[in-house]
Structure 1
């Protein structure tokens, strides 16, 4: 636990990168922005995954995971410092989010594989699921802290930045003092863009990278589509009922990741991957049964069953080719851009059919693909 604690703290900080979502509404009100301008915040945070992941994975092959993790933490810290001293304009906030998004991306490239270096034999998948649980706590702080600041602390929502800044600084100190024995493997050549892209010629690697791509897309489809679905099908007003909808989905994700960490203590990762993928499909089908009660239960189970897919795909792939850890990490974190590409397809189908329910066929198809990859992995176990 002493070796994994600093890495778990880094996962908490990774979650702060998701604060950009709740910041959209707050920034729009504070700076009198249009919707288009306000939503550039989410774009600035998300685009970093596509731009930075692969080059950082290559750089990590030369400098090591701990160095890259500290680099990501330092850049995120810079993102917290900027608005702490002055937040007089939207440009400052935009720069802050840019640094925070870049830092979170770099931390994910390093943090996911370095967990393997600090984990006991056979505990990597479990610890990665627990890391995602801790990350979810950081993500949930985004909508919670501003509310606490305004309602109970009589402070401005911008107080989140110095609070996050202190936590990031403590994490930097903690990781700096950690001794990490990074597993070294003999390679025919150092990592490069060419060697990374060449990995996609490997059918197994391509299959697993695509699993990350479609899964993240499916998760974003669910988080954005569930409130629309509940209102459209059952007239449930999400704003009035609070936890129902997206909040309920994300809470279930967080709980599911904790439970996944416990389950993986006894169950093999590839077996759990098959079970949770199939249960995800069954849970999505629950949305089509026409009952509001069943729909709410289905939303909870979708969150619980989706929760561990990302860490399972990541850890199983790394364990399959540990000598290519840095290249694989870069490729898989790059694949997170699926969260920007898959949801518009769901939106198009929803518009064409005038039904959000029909739009859910898109994430359903994505999870069917994920379940197929899970069965392939179990067959080859």
Structure 2
């Protein structure tokens, strides 16, 4: 575990890319832009996952995991420093009407933060495998994802817990992110990682990545699993505040607290608990249980009863908590010699978070703005995860975690 703690800091830094969620509301209020313009924030972030993941997997295969690890931290650090250089470091800044200069700075910052997070996602999971003792990879990866959830929560909690009490603006997050990234970068500099690529094997190429789909349906299925999982999670956490407002009259001004307490907090708890469970339970079996739990939670949301809806959100979050690390670890453990290519393909599938939410919105519009009906989209995505767990994952799982 001593070798792993710098990597846990890397996972904390990965979570900073999730700041795109709460930033939509903050940017809209600060710069008085349209909904469409505000939505450029998450679109910019998810675009990086789709564009960079596979190429960075190829770079990793040639240059090594440590090179890519330090590159990701450096790019993310540049993203955190950019707004600071533009005067956005916590003090209240007056934005004149029509002046979008600082908005473009925020957009560029998101581009770099999410590019860094993408690069770290590609290398972080295989690096965790390198520093984990035999049989503990799935457990350590689940624990690392819980640390990532702490980083993700900072975008929701820094405003109410730090900025407002101190009379600062939400831009106080940038110096905090920069300090954490700098610490992670310094602790990873002396990290030594093993090189697993055999000299006789050709370096990975775009063709070798995508031919994995044709040669092995297992890889395609697992990548689709990540695609549908991330899409389902983004649908769920973005749809919950709208659902609570429509059904139960909840004030959206408190949406940061609501989203965190009902969804992100249970995910954080679920990942810590999941890390312990995976010490004794096979990952394939645990994946089945988490998929069933997620489906049960979404089913409760369909009830329309307030108590059941609140409970369903929490239950679904607990189910969602470990799906990503489970799918990833099962795939990499089945084909460790292709870890770099598989990692790139799987992280590119995070682009599902940009695809399924518009589908959910389209379904809601078709249902005369009934938000509950939209949750059929994440429910269908979780049905695919359950099928995956009962077929492909169970067949490929080599041993207990």
Same fold flag (TM > 0.5) = yes
Alignment of 1:44-83 (within 5 A): 44-83=44-83
Does 1:363 pair with 2:392? no
* Corresponding residue number in structure 1 for 2:389: 374
Structure 1 residues without counterparts, runs of 5 or longer: none
Whole-angstrom CA distance in 2 between matches of 1:338 and 1:28: 24
Does 1:198 pair with 2:211? yes
Contact 1:117-1:182 within 8 A present in 2 as well: no
Q: 1:34 to 1:280 in 2, by over 3 A?
A: closer
The DSSP-based 3-state class of the residue aligned with 1:120 is coil
Contact 1:46-1:337 within 8 A present in 2 as well: yes
Contact 2:334-2:396 within 8 A present in 1 as well: no
Does 1:257 pair with 2:274? no
Alignment of 1:89-104 (within 5 A): 89-104=102-117
Give the alignment's Cα RMSD to 1 decimal: 1.8
Does 1:218 pair with 2:232? yes
- Per-residue CA deviations over 1:68-115 (Å, capped at 9, x if unaligned) read 011000011111111112246222222211111111100100001110
Q: 1:207 to 1:242 in 2, by over 3 A?
A: closer
- Per-residue CA deviations over 1:171-203 (Å, capped at 9, x if unaligned) read 001011112224334664210010011111121
* Corresponding residue number in structure 1 for 2:298: 284
Q: What's the CA shift for 1:38? A: 2.7
Contact 2:83-2:174 within 8 A present in 1 as well: yes
Contact 2:159-2:170 within 8 A present in 1 as well: yes
| Higher alpha-carbon deviation: 35-44 or 221-230 | 35-44
* Corresponding residue number in structure 2 for 1:163: 176
The DSSP-based 3-state class of the residue aligned with 1:289 is coil
* Corresponding residue number in structure 1 for 2:141: 128
Query: Quick one: which of 328, 333, 338 aligns to 2:352?
Result: 338
Q: What's the CA shift for 1:245? A: 4.8
Structure 2 residues without counterparts, runs of 5 or longer: 88-100
Contact 1:7-1:175 within 8 A present in 2 as well: yes
Q: What's the CA shift for 1:242? A: 6.5
* Corresponding residue number in structure 2 for 1:231: 245
* Corresponding residue number in structure 1 for 2:39: 39
* Corresponding residue number in structure 1 for 2:95: none
Does 1:293 pair with 2:307? yes
Q: 1:119 to 1:142 in 2, by over 3 A?
A: same
Q: What's the CA shift for 1:35? A: 2.9
* Corresponding residue number in structure 2 for 1:113: 126
Equivalent pairs, count: 381
Contact 1:76-1:104 within 8 A present in 2 as well: yes
Whole-angstrom CA distance in 2 between matches of 1:23 and 1:218: 20
Q: What's the CA shift for 1:324? A: 0.5
- Per-residue CA deviations over 1:337-365 (Å, capped at 9, x if unaligned) read 11111111111112112222222111111
Whole-angstrom CA distance in 2 between matches of 1:212 and 1:280: 15
The DSSP-based 3-state class of the residue aligned with 1:3 is coil
The DSSP-based 3-state class of the residue aligned with 1:181 is coil
Contact 1:274-1:378 within 8 A present in 2 as well: no
Q: What's the CA shift for 1:279? A: 1.8
Q: What's the CA shift for 1:290? A: 3.4
- Per-residue CA deviations over 1:249-275 (Å, capped at 9, x if unaligned) read 111111111111111111111111111
Query: Quick one: which of 317, 321, 341 aligns to 2:331?
Result: 317
Q: 1:279 to 1:185 in 2, by over 3 A?
A: farther
